[in-house]
Amino acid sequence: MVKQNISVYIRVRPPLPREIKEGTFENCVLASNQKIYVSLTGHPFIIEKDCENIPGVTIYQFDKVFDFDSTQEQIYDLAVEKVVKSVV
């Protein structure tokens, strides 16, 4: 039996067409490399150099984070393909 580690990947979803049309989408989440920054105020924020100390922003870290610009193909290639091949 081959032992493997479990990796946690997160994808920030893109806005829905309805959200764009209604103007109800405010991006309060930023995905960057292995971290997700979440605005607890419900308002967009700007990430600067010292992003670890932004008031009202919580940071979560994962093995890999995909932003809303990531394609299904990129996600498959980087996060899924190896798992599928190991199962099959």
Residue written as token pair 């103007």: 23
User: What per-residue confidence (pLDDT) applies to 37?
Assistant: 83
The predicted structure's pLDDT at residue 2: 66
Rg (CA), the chain: 16
Mean pLDDT, rounded, for 70-78: 89
d(CA 77, CA 64) in angstroms, rounded, equals 13
pLDDT in tens, 15-73: 888 888 887 777 778 887 788 888 777 666 666 555 667 778 888 899 999 988 888 89
What is the reported pLDDT for 73? 92
Q: What is the predicted pLDDT for the residue at 1? A: 62
Distance between CA atoms of residues 14 and 34, nearest Å: 18
**Rounded to two decimals, what is the model's pTM?**
0.67
pLDDT at 62: 93
